[in-house]
Amino acid sequence: MTIQKLVVFGGNGFLGKRICQQAVLKGMQVTGLSRSGKPPVPLTNNDKHWIKEVSWNSADIFDPDTYVAYLKDRPNVVDTIGILLENENYKKDLKNGLTLSSLFKRAPNPLLHPRNSEDQEKHNSNFTYERINTKSAMILADTFKTILEKNNGDLISKPSLTYVSADKGFLVIPKEYINSKRRAELYLLDMAKDVTNPFRPIIIRPGFMFDELNTMQFNDVRTLLHDGLEVLNCANKLILRNQFQIMNDIIRPTISTQQVGRSLVDKITNQKYSGILTLEHMLDR
């Protein structure tokens, strides 16, 4: 039996590492790509074991020359690259325990703090929703398609290309966040309309994510948000009994990165699957 291969862009990230973990547990040969090329920091002894099974390498998604070599063997590919805020330091701020209010004050969020012309000039023009959430996915898809077509692969057993999108937007997050995700989705799905397209597009739409191993250990912003959303979800379910669609659309269930990883890897290894994997489907796994 041929061992399936998986390449994960952003493989050492919050979600990417759990996708790598689940793929290793499934017996796949896994490559994790990131700008640093470094493996993630293990949270448990179990993490140490699967991390050793992954090949960690450096690559820049905007520069195909840095990763074409990893795509030549027709692997399945996952793109976890994306940003929630147009603030290049926000992920570092989250890790360092910055408070939620401070995080949004520092982020260029037009809903909360409209930027003036001077702010616009200081803002990193490369760290935008359009570039990070949309353009990067297009570049990867085009590169992967070109490589597969050159290799004249079997159209029956197509490798998959997964894009990590989002369930819905958030009240305090600019609408352009979800719009940029949807544009990337549309680009991939439009490519798939051509029956000769050499890969299976998979779109996953997780909601607010948390790591099962972090929840009880760290009193950080993500944990506080998770706890708050869980309270709202319980209230919506027990008191309102999910009877009001408008509330169901606003108050969405949370999901662990481990659950997302398990659901996605199941679909990747299913040669017949392509399309949109919704939050509800992942929770029902």
Q: What is the CATH number for 29?
A: 3.40.50.720
**pLDDT reported for residue 120:** 45
Position 24 in a domain: yes
In a domain, 102, yes or no: no
* Closest among 51, 53, 70, 52 to 9, alpha carbons compared: 70
pLDDT in tens, 62-80: 999 999 999 999 999 999 9
Instruction: Tally the residues of the chain.
Output: 285
Q: What is the number of helices (H) and of strands (E) in the chain?
A: 13, 9
* Residue 148, amino acid: L
Residue 143 within a domain: yes
Quote the pLDDT of residue 213: 86
CA pair distance 178, 242, nearest whole angstrom: 24
Q: 3-class SS at 31?
A: strand
Neighbours of 246 (CB within 10 A): 7
- Residue 227: inside a domain: no
77 part of a folded domain: yes
Cα angle vertex 141, ends 260, 210, to 5°? 20
DSSP category for residue 183: H
- 50 part of a folded domain: yes
Provide the pairing of β-strand 5-9 with 29-34: parallel
Distance CA 194, CA 127 (A): 32
* Domains identified in the chain, total number: 1
CA gap 56, 32 in Å, rounded? 5
DSSP-assigned letter for residue 156 = S
- The answer to whether the CB of 175 falls within 8 A of the CB of 169 is yes
pTM of the predicted structure, to 2 decimals: 0.82
- Write out the two tokens for 87: 């603030």
Tell me the residue range of the domain where 132 lies.
Answer: 5-87+128-212+253-283
> What are the pLDDT digits (tens) for 159-195?
999 999 999 877 678 899 999 999 999 999 999 999 8
Which residue numbers in the chain have pLDDT < 70? 1, 89-124, 153-156, 171, 214-251
Residue 285 has a pLDDT of: 73
Residue 166 lies in a domain: yes
